[in-house]
Amino acid sequence: MSSRDFSKMSGAELVDAYNSLAGLTGQAPRTSKFSSKSEGVLRCQELQVRVDAMAPTPPAPKTSLKHQKIIRLLVGGNPRRPGTDAHRHFEAMVGSPTVGQYLDKFEATDRACAARWLWNTVRDGYAELLG
């Protein structure tokens, strides 16, 4: 919804606002004047409602197909040495059924590093990705 206050506009400003909104809809005819300020305010408000209704809905966030892959651990316990980054990342994989859920456990700046740890774990034969 627009935050414009049409009631505070002059007659010329109302005409400009109306014609600007009319151009966005492509349906309302342009005007050169209103019979009264109250009519101008009303018509601008009605047209603003139509323009707001035309606003596109934002697209759904894209989810990479890689993020939907399922992590299947192939070992019973954590094979990484305790106290290391590898150990911490493996522990995060234990409670994460998908790659996306695993990566969501990390700050955006750490996700690339977390992805490398995941691929290293797969490469070393401790996990596999399904799907």
Mean pLDDT (whole number) for 36-58: 85
Distance (Å, rounded) from C-alpha 100 to C-alpha 91?
Answer: 15
Do 36 and 13 touch, CB atoms closer than 8 A? no
Contacts of 32 (CB under 8 A, 6+ apart): 15
Helix ranges (DSSP H) in 1-131: 11-25, 37-54, 85-94, 99-103, 111-123
Better-predicted residue by pLDDT, 106 or 3: 106
pLDDT tens per residue, range 79-104: 999 999 889 889 988 888 888 888 88
pLDDT tens per residue, range 117-127: 888 999 999 99
Give the percent of the chain with pLDDT over 90. Answer: 34
pLDDT band at residue 109 under the 50/70/90 scheme: confident
Distance (Å, rounded) from C-alpha 44 to C-alpha 64?
Answer: 43
pTM, whole model, 2 decimals? 0.49
129 forms beta bridges with 71
98 forms beta bridges with 70
Do 30 and 22 touch, CB atoms closer than 8 A? yes
